[in-house]
Amino acid sequence: MTIIQPISKQELIERRKQLRQRQRLKVLQTLWQTVAVGAIAYGGGWLLTQPNWAIREPEQVVITGNELVTTEALREILPIQYPQLVFRLQPDKIAQTLKAKGPVAQARVTRQLFPLRLTIEVSERFPVAIAIESRQSQTVGLIDEQGIWMPMENYTELTSFPLPTLKIIGPLVHYQSYWPQAYTALKESPVQITELNWEDPKNLILTTELGQVHLGVYTPQFSKQLQVLDQMRQLPQQLDPRQMNYIDLRNPDAPSIEMKSSSTPFNPKF
């Protein structure tokens, strides 16, 4: 059985005194912590609003990764009014502006204190074709390898690089989902192709060094159709290209040529 020793009145008074002292000490510590944090926050806030933390000139904006567009051209479209405190710059807004107004796929914006500057790392969209909605339309843009469309002015006003020679005619919705695979096949083909007409989704028409080529609906056979077209590059030795209306490759296993002067298709040998 545990025996509880009685506590004297003096011991009880002493314990209460020690408890009050600890409580007062804790209150003082909390107060000092609050004052210290407030002072640091105020001092830090005051410090950060001083002119020394301002981006004063475009040269303090460092841009890397750009090849198509010059650094000066990209600096001109940034939503920055100089001087501007570095902590008030909005990286997300800057990145979105670059993607909206320039041939930029991605932009990573970082604020740096030592030395004071803004660093922007960009990856550009390289246009591979001129995209025209229709022969009657004034809507002209550019697309990259992934089929991402960009306004023509975003490219021509910011870069001196030549425009691509390949043209695509037709609404973007007719071919955008196919374009990455189609462009890969086009790059691998030795046949010179200058235009793809996708106005009629049921009949893709190519303009090539051999003349017009009708492919029908775009299918995974596109690569095979281009291979057959490559095999037909000896056609000028078999007939006069001026008498050809178009090459029919809707069935790449049985290619034929529609002639201008005959209703009977010509079946090439190769």
pLDDT recorded at residue 137: 79
Q: How many CB atoms lie within 10 A of CB 162?
A: 6
User: How confident is residue 250, by pLDDT bands cut at 50, 70 and 90?
Assistant: very high
User: How confident is residue 65, by pLDDT bands cut at 50, 70 and 90?
Assistant: very high
Mean pLDDT (the chain) is 86
Q: How far apart are CA 40 and CA 61, in angstroms?
A: 29
pLDDT recorded at residue 43: 44
Contact 60, 117 (CB under 8 A): yes
Work out the average pLDDT over 41-64. Answer: 73
Work out the average pLDDT over 75-85. Answer: 94
- Nearest Cα neighbor of 108 from 83, 125, 130, 91 is 91
> Long-range contact list for 67-71, CB < 8 A, 24+ apart?
67/124, 68/103, 68/124, 68/126, 68/155, 68/158, 68/159, 68/161, 69/102, 69/103, 69/104, 69/124, 69/158, 69/159, 70/158, 70/159
Work out the average pLDDT over 147-169. Answer: 91
Model confidence at 61: pLDDT above 70: yes
Model confidence at 44: pLDDT above 50: no
Pair of tokens at residue 167: 């043209």
Q: Where are the domain boundaries for CATH 3.10.20.310 in the chain?
A: 54-124
Model confidence at 222: pLDDT above 90: yes
Work out the average pLDDT over 230-255. Answer: 87
Work out the average pLDDT over 32-57. Answer: 61
User: How confident is residue 174, by pLDDT bands cut at 50, 70 and 90?
Assistant: very high
Model confidence at 14: pLDDT above 80: no
Report the top-level CATH class of 127-259.
alpha beta
Instruction: Return the higher-pLDDT residue of 233 and 220.
Output: 220
For the ranges 19-28, 67-76, 116-125, 200-209, which has the lowest average pLDDT?
19-28
Highest mean pLDDT among 145-159, 170-184, 250-264: 170-184
pLDDT recorded at residue 15: 67
pLDDT recorded at residue 36: 53
Q: Where are the domain boundaries for CATH 3.40.50.11690 in the chain?
A: 127-259
Task: Tell whether domain 54-124 is in CATH 2.40.10.220.
Answer: no
Model confidence at 2: pLDDT above 80: no
Instruction: Return the higher-pLDDT residue of 2 and 172.
Output: 172
Work out the average pLDDT over 159-165. Answer: 90
pLDDT recorded at residue 48: 46
